[in-house]
Amino acid sequence: MTGRITMHCHVSGRVQGVWFRGGAREQARALGIDGYARNLPDGRVDVLARGTPEAVAALLDWLRQGPPNAEVAELQHEQVDVIPDKGFRIL
- pLDDT tens digit sequence for 45-54: 999 999 999 9
Active site residue 25: no
Which residue is catalytic, options 14, 25, 38, 39?
39
Sign of CA dihedral 72, 73, 78, 81: negative
59 with 33: CB under 8 angstroms? yes
Distance of CA 43 to the CA centre of its chain: 15
Cα–Cα separations (whole angstroms), residue 89 to 2, 35, 74: 23, 6, 22
- Rounded to the nearest integer, the mean pLDDT of the chain is 96
> Taking 70 as the threshold, does the pLDDT of residue 1 lie above it?
no
What's the pLDDT score for residue 78? 98
**Apex 78 CA angle, 37 and 87, nearest 5:** 35
pLDDT value of position 2:
63
Q: Which is the catalytic residue, given 4, 21, 69, 89?
A: 21
| Structure confidence by residue, pLDDT tens digits, 53-91 | 999 999 999 999 999 999 999 999 999 999 999 999 999
Which residue in 16, 15, 89, 14 sits closest to 48, CA to CA? 89
Annotation marks residue 39 as catalytic: yes
